[in-house]
Amino acid sequence: MVAKQRNQQAFERTLRTLRSVGRIEPQDAALVACGRTLAALMDEPGRDAINVCWAYLKVLGALRGEVPTDTHDDDLSAFLAVLQGQVGDAPES
């Protein structure tokens, strides 16, 4: 068996820590598998890891329960602003 490299080792340490505090649950299996795959890809010699790294960081954020604050979705933001302006109490009768 080939020894795990830096990113793979760091991902496994992160998983152990998150499991120890109850942050990893059975429904996180796909995210865990994806994270392991991305960590292995980042450890491949000669690979340009920048794009893989961005995807890897998103997986880590999801596992940690982080909610993205900026989605860069201007259409959704505009829709939500209109919706918020239209919601209110019904007029008294």
* pLDDT tens per residue, range 13-46: 999 999 999 999 999 999 999 999 999 999 998 8
25 burial via Cβ count (<10 Å: 0-12, 13-18, 19+): exposed
Distance of CA 26 to the CA centre of its chain: 16
The pLDDT-based confidence of 1 (bands split at 50, 70, 90) is: very low
Give the residue among 6, 51, 57, 50 at the shortest CA–CA distance from 31.
Answer: 57
pLDDT, average across residues 62-90: 67
pLDDT of residue 66: 82
Is 81's pLDDT higher than 70? Answer: no
pLDDT of residue 65: 86
At residue 44, φ and ψ (nearest 5 deg) are -65, 130
